[in-house]
Amino acid sequence: MAEKGVKVFGMWASPMAIRVEWALRLKGVEYEYVDEDLANKSADLLRYNPVTKKVPVLVHDGKPIAESTIIVEYIDEAWKGGYPIMPADPYERAQARFWARYAEDKCNAALYPVFTTTGEAQRKVVHEAQQCLKTLETALEGKKFFGGDAVGYLDIVVGWFAHWLPVIEEVSGASVVTDEELPLMKAWFDRFLAVDAVKAVLPDRDRLLAANKARREQILSAA
């Protein structure tokens, strides 16, 4: 018989895996967390996600689901009565999915070079990342959260910006999300990080800083 309960396979510094924990905590679902060493993945992870072999994986009553944004939608549907993660209206749902895809495909790709460059080259990519985030920021206009009055799907998908970007900025010596350039997003960082379910599982800032510092040095020395 399949194992009962909810299990999350994550990695402490993964900005994708934390989405699953945020969604479960917003729903009030209890879960067991398994931290993976990505250099030495567990047999369970490889068995539950043989296709991409990536974290996060959610295992619900023995049935595995992979891909963080898909897991978040699953959590909303499987625990339907609880906290609403997706907007109720089909059009609003499509908009939330559109912006999530935009953030994943465009903004993540625009942000990564900030972490891997210096000097003049970095100034150029910082500007490009800001343009991408400014477009995303339009989805916040007139609202407290991307989800409206409360944290929703899009907040969960882009939520890592609030905790990870200031760390990446510090490590890279660059300013991306500033009061001048991205005031709505900057203010949302504070509001999002103050939500109980969000702050309960944030990775330790110093540890994240050290890991990202080491990673940047490795990338820059290999370049």
Query: Would you tell me which residues interact with a second copy (CB under 8 A)?
Result: 51-52, 60, 63, 65-67, 70-71, 73-74, 77-78, 90-91, 93-95, 97-98, 101-102, 135
Do 122 and 174 touch, CB atoms closer than 8 A?
yes
CB nearer to a second copy: give 94 or 219: 94
Distance CA 59, CA 215 (A): 30
Least distance in Å: CB of 218 to a second copy?
A: 26
Least distance in Å: CB of 80 to a second copy?
A: 8
Distance CA 129, CA 110 (A): 5
CB nearer to a second copy: give 35 or 92: 92
CB nearer to a second copy: give 71 or 176: 71
Distance CA 156, CA 127 (A): 25
Least distance in Å: CB of 182 to a second copy?
A: 17
What is the sign, positive or negative, of the torsion defined by CA atoms of 141, 80, 34, 59?
Answer: negative
Helix (H, G, I), strand (E, B) or coil at 10: strand
CB nearer to a second copy: give 25 or 60: 60
